[in-house]
Amino acid sequence: MNIALICDYSLGYLGGAQTAFLAEARALTDAGHTVVVVTPTVHHTGDGPIHEPVHPRVVIPGLGLPLVRNSGRLRARLIGVFRAHGIDVVHVHSEFGLVAAAVDVAAQLDLAVVHTVHTFFWRTHLPRPVQHIAAAFIRSFQHWITGHPAPRPLAGRPAADGAMCAITLATSRRASIVVSPSAHQRAHLLRAGLGRVETIPNTVITADRRRGEALVSVDGPLRVVWIGRCVREKRLLEFVAASRDAMRRLPGGSLEVEVVGDGPLLAAARLLAADNPEIIFTGRVDFDGVAEALRRSHIVALTSSGFDNQPMTIVEALYAARGVLYVDPALTEGVDLAGILAPSDSVHDIAGALVHLAEDPHRLVRLSRRALAAFDGFAPDIHAERLTALYREQLATAPR
């Protein structure tokens, strides 16, 4: 099949959605399909996927979000791309102007549309007095960028958060079928009124295609890696505080921590760990650099709570044959086999979990072996096979 993968985000920005998007493109290409990637930035997608970039007029500072407006010129460009490559299915991975244009064009050309929802847990962290003002701005922005009327904010959430969720729902309702990488997000989408949502876990592929090897033993200090954007939702500061607490409870040299990622809270995290040389900050690295950091570690720490759909950190950890210490009980895929759930998301309980792991290194070896087996459910060929089944189902019923 000829598949168009569309995303509003910059592929050069470190984020789970981008990692999942690129891995999916490679997995589908490896499965024998022609994949055309349409994004706002020029990016090397590796051997196989074809890249048709569009050029944003501006990129929102701090967010790394390119602004591409749904315009007649853009739609004409997409018509040309879809026809030139004989596109059968349009698979979108975001909810803004570029995706809105792609869905419009798909409707015009009678093409099936699949929408992968990467997050339905938007948080603006705005104080209550300005939530309604922010919601009004978000709705106006959505109308301007997509060319479609702004949906009413989703009830039961702060107004601005509900406005963001409504944008996701509006895109999902225009798709032929919706994909959620996790079961718990699928449940939220169904409760919000979507008729059908399929759960297909994300996948990951590194450039060298080299899977990690299971740990045989743990010698020396416990090495923990934290990977992600240094933002409030990921709770980096809480993790650093917990690491410092664990180091106080353990004999010297028992715990080493590496933080991989960049973002607005990185400076505060460095300051918090200034007296702890065992906590190092690698900063931003590429996707293969993440894989190397995982191989250096014994376990991955995932400290977001109530925010993530299916963190790519989990998939990357399993790919590297490493277990996951996590705090959010809603997460299940992968961590049900190769995860350790902290008693709560508090600093004290995360620190306690780190202490227990440092004192019982044999547990890390068992988790590593389970991680190696758990990745089978996230393997690229399985991911491509499940998506292909959905595509064929949609093609069988499409007007074309």
| 197-201, 292-296, 305-309, 312-316: range with lowest mean pLDDT | 305-309
Fold of 2-203+379-397: Rossmann fold (3.40.50)
For residue 34, how many other CB atoms are within 10 A of its CB? 17
Fold of 222-378: Rossmann fold (3.40.50)
Mean pLDDT of 258-281: 95
Q: Output the pLDDT for position 212.
A: 87
Average pLDDT of the chain to the nearest whole number: 92
Residue 143 corresponds to which tokens in the numbers above? 């109308």
pTM for the model stands at 0.91
Q: How confident is the model at residue 95 (pLDDT cuts 50, 70, 90)?
A: very high
Q: Output the pLDDT for position 287.
A: 79
Q: How confident is the model at residue 313 (pLDDT cuts 50, 70, 90)?
A: very high
Q: Is the pLDDT of residue 169 over 70?
A: yes
Q: How confident is the model at residue 43 (pLDDT cuts 50, 70, 90)?
A: low
For residue 48, how many other CB atoms are within 10 A of its CB? 13
Q: Output the pLDDT for position 311.
A: 86
Residues 6+ apart with CB under 8 A from 310: 181, 182, 185, 201, 202, 331, 333
In the chain the first and final C-alpha atoms are separated, in Å, by: 14
Q: Is the pLDDT of residue 399 over 70?
A: no
Q: How confident is the model at residue 200 (pLDDT cuts 50, 70, 90)?
A: very high
Residues of the chain with CATH 3.40.50.2000: 2-203+379-397, 222-378
